[in-house]
């Protein structure tokens, strides 16, 4: 059984994929159970993510389903190995509901090879400076202590480190108000925008600004993150944050709308080169305001 006695993100992703492959092969759970010498009930629990599939069982099921692609097989075997793996975020102290919600997302983000993010209000988390994160955290009424704020900043920076070491790609579309809205500290504001320009210079990063005037495009969807894995070009998971939870969407029909929304946002946004030039102008405006003050 997955760690904690309940489905993990890894076990759910693995189970859903195995079920999809079984259905594509036009086999039922009885065939799968015979292949790995287990009960039909266990196959059902594996496909729901309630129990972790052993690597050996995954290999036999992939043989049965006719999956010959080496990279796909390796990806699914890795999911099986990682189903009970302790996540780095468990070393941080959060309230239980927050840790569980954040853990689900970080498990998905850590494995991703391509991340798409649309943010109309904030700088995307993976692009935030520690000072920017601290400023946002201090403005959050749910964060009641200095220690809790420092912990959030530490987690955010560890996310950045894990992402940068993974070699994953990031495509971000940010609405203009998230960049130009006044912050309590103009120094923090300017440093954050300078950091964005630095990140935009990396080959793995694509940062685009959606002009304020493109209000129609900005309303195609609330903030969301799309996560792709292995060589999959399209997102396999969409994540949206609410006030109390992170909603994970993995149904292909539901995800299609988000894919179209992100394409529309990128088309309406400034090019990466134009976006960097725009951010530089915003930085210059902040400097002028400081001088006038």
- Residues with Cβ within 8 Å of 218's Cβ and at least 6 positions away in sequence, in order, are 120, 175, 210, 265
- Cβ atoms of 285 and 182 closer than 8 Å: no
Determine the distance from the C-alpha atom of residue 5 to the mean position of all C-alpha atoms in its chain, rounded to a whole number: 24
CA 272, CA 65: separation in Å to the nearest integer?
43
CA 279, CA 200: separation in Å to the nearest integer?
11
Q: What is the pLDDT of residue 268?
A: 97
- Is residue 293 over pLDDT 60? no
CA 198, CA 187: separation in Å to the nearest integer?
16
Structure tokens at 72: 């796909």
- Is residue 239 over pLDDT 90? no
Domains of the chain in start order, with CATH, are 3-82 (1.10.260.40), 90-292 (3.30.870)
Structure tokens at 150: 């420092």
Q: What is the pLDDT of residue 127?
A: 95
CA 76, CA 205: separation in Å to the nearest integer?
27
Winning range, highest mean pLDDT, from 63-67, 100-104, 158-162: 63-67
Percent of the chain's residues with pLDDT above 70: 82
Alpha-helical (H) ranges within the chain are 9-24, 29-36, 40-48, 55-64, 70-82, 96-111, 130-138, 146-166, 176-180, 186-200, 215-218, 252-268, 272-292
Question: If pLDDT is split at 50, 70 and 90, which confidence band does 96 have?
Answer: very low
- Residues with Cβ within 8 Å of 27's Cβ and at least 6 positions away in sequence, in order, are 64, 65
CA 50, CA 133: separation in Å to the nearest integer?
35
- Cβ atoms of 114 and 169 closer than 8 Å: yes
Tens-digit pLDDT profile for residues 142-170: 655 667 677 778 888 888 888 888 888 99
Average pLDDT of the segment spanning 72-95: 68
Question: If pLDDT is split at 50, 70 and 90, which confidence band does 274 have?
Answer: very high
Average pLDDT of the segment spanning 10-24: 85
User: Kind and range of the H or E element at 240?
Assistant: strand 237-241
Which has the minimum average pLDDT: 162-176, 191-205, 265-279?
162-176
Q: What is the pLDDT of residue 291?
A: 52
């Amino acid at each position: 059984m997955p760690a904690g006695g309940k489905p993990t993100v890894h076990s759910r992703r693995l189970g859903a994929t195995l079920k999809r492959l079984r259905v594509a092969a036009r086999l039922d759970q009885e065939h799968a159970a015979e292949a790995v010498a287990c009960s039909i009930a266990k196959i059902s629990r594996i496909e729901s993510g309630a129990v972790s599939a052993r690597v050996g069982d995954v290999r036999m099921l992939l043989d049965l389903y006719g999956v010959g692609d080496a990279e796909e097989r390796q990806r699914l075997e890795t999911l099986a190995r990682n189903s009970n793996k302790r996540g780095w975020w468990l070393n941080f102290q959060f309230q239980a509901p927050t840790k569980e919600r954040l853990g689900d997302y970080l498990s998905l983000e850590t494995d991703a090879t391509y991340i798409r993010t649309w943010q109309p209000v904030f700088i995307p988390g993976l692009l935030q400076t520690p000072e920017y994160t601290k400023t946002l955290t201090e403005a959050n009424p749910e964060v009641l202590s200095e220690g809790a704020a420092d912990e959030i900043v530490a987690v955010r920076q560890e996310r950045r480190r894990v992402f940068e070491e993974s070699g994953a790609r990031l495509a971000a579309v940010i609405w203009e108000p998230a960049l130009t809205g006044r912050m309590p500290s103009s120094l923090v504001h300017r440093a954050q925008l300078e950091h964005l320009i630095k990140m935009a210079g990396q080959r793995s990063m694509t940062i685009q600004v959606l002009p304020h005037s493109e209000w129609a495009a900005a309303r195609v969807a609330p903030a969301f993150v799309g996560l792709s894995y292995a060589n999959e070009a399209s997102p396999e998971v969409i994540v949206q944050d609410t006030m109390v939870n992170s909603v994970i969407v993995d149904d292909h029909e539901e995800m299609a709308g988000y894919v179209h929304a992100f394409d529309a946002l990128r088309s309406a946004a400034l090019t990466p080169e134009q976006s960097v030039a725009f951010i530089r102008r915003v930085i210059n405006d902040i400097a002028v305001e400081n001088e006038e003050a």
